[in-house]
Amino acid sequence: MLANDLSLGQIVWLFQISAPQVRLAVAESFTDLYADTHDTPRKITIKRLNTIYSRLVFFRNLCAHDERCYCAHANERFNESVFQAVNDLSYLLDQESYIAFRHQFYELLRRMAIALPDQYCQMFKAIGVTDQSAIDDIVGRLPMQ
């Protein structure tokens, strides 16, 4: 219930300062939630949860301060991208919510591809979509209008 009154940053800080057994219990609860709501089970470890939290806080802060986040990379690492943060949400959201969110995100990318046909591949790479099959999946999975 405390989490309802905390910001994302405060939740992450609380997780990071908690005793190892508490962090393990939180990670296991996400693993159980994931198993209950997704088709394929995934083990969510303390390390993975910490990485996800840190990446989400990084991008949340960029958005909150009106900074450009589409091409930002947390910790200056290419795999710490907006696209990875979107994928991270699959660990924290139930399957139905994540699919709806991802569909909206892909729809925005698809519309960008329509609006910028000569630049969208470069834009996708800046966002963190690095392989051509993923680009084709995003653009091709939703009907072009």
> Average per-residue pLDDT in the chain?
84
Band of residue 142 on the pLDDT scale cut at 50, 70, 90: very low
Query: What pLDDT score does 24 carry?
Result: 96
Query: What pLDDT score does 26 carry?
Result: 93
Least confident window among 58-72, 87-101, 112-126: 58-72
> For the whole model, what pTM was predicted?
0.80
Mean pLDDT of 38-62: 89
Band of residue 46 on the pLDDT scale cut at 50, 70, 90: very high
Q: Does pLDDT of 117 surpass 90?
A: no
Q: How far is Cα 43 from Cα 91, in angstroms, rounded to an integer?
A: 9
69-92: per-residue pLDDT in tens? 777 877 777 678 889 899 899 888
Q: How far is Cα 2 from Cα 9, in angstroms, rounded to an integer?
A: 13
The first and second tokens of residue 40, run together, are 């394929």
Contact 89, 101 (CB under 8 A): yes
Contact 56, 7 (CB under 8 A): no
Q: Where are the domains of the chain?
A: 2-141
